[in-house]
């Protein structure tokens, strides 16, 4: 995307993208033998952890019918891997493989520059939560995103 605002298709830039496997199992199968063994036998995700969780999320979003939108601001480290929308706003989605902070998500939600963003969603290994600016859900809820947003709009 050129800028995180609605409409999503109006800000789409085909030269800015990330590639994901439609099947995360195929992604793992494509790794070299040492990495493959490390992941499967030793359950050592190591440097692959973030990429694997991000790919799992992309796979879940596409299977729910969401197109994938990616944004990276050229003059800073601000980067957001996923965006969806509801009736009222643009929703940045963060998928965290570690328990670190979500600086880009926080900036996108709190800055007046991004007026179409009212709240965000973060998927992590933690529990369900809300901190006044974004909702937190465990990874296993990735496949429920569309259902959650549809229910949220009714209230």
User: pLDDT tens digits for 47-63?
Assistant: 778 888 999 999 999 99
φ, ψ (nearest 5 deg) of residue 11: -105, 10
Per DSSP, the residues of 14-61 read TTS-----SSHHHHHHTS-HHHHHHHHTS---GGGHHHHHHHHHHHHH
Tell me how far the alpha carbon of residue 14 is from its chain's centroid. 18
pLDDT in tens, 73-89: 888 889 999 999 998 89
φ, ψ (nearest 5 deg) of residue 130: -150, 135
pLDDT tens per residue across all 155 residues of the chain: 889 999 999 989 888 889 999 998 888 888 888 877 777 766 667 777 888 899 999 999 999 999 999 999 888 889 999 999 998 899 999 999 877 778 999 999 999 999 999 999 999 998 999 999 999 999 999 999 999 998 887 76
Q: Are the CB atoms for 137 and 121 separated by under 8 Å?
A: yes
Walk me through the domains of the chain, giving residue ranges and CATH numbers: 17-154 (3.40.1350)
Number of H helices, E strands in the chain: 5, 7
What b/e string do you get for 85-100 counting C-beta neighbours within 10 Å, with b at 16 or more?
A: beeeebbbbbbbbeee
């Amino acid at each position: 995307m050129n800028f995180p605002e609605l409409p999503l298709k109006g800000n789409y830039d085909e030269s800015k993208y990330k590639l994901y496997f439609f099947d995360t199992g195929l992604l793992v199968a494509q790794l070299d033998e040492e990495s493959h063994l490390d992941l499967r036998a030793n359950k050592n995700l190591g440097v692959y952890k973030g990429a694997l969780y991000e790919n799992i999320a992309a796979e879940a979003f596409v299977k729910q019918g969401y197109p994938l939108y990616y944004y990276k601001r050229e003059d800073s480290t601000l980067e957001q891997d996923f965006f969806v929308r509801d009736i009222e706003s643009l929703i940045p989605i963060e998928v965290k493989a570690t328990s670190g902070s979500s600086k880009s998500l926080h900036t996108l939600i709190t800055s007046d520059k991004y007026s179409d963003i009212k709240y965000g969603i973060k998927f992590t290994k933690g529990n369900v939560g809300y901190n006044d600016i974004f909702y937190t859900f465990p990874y296993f809820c990735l496949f429920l995103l569309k259902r959650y947003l549809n229910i949220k709009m009714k209230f």
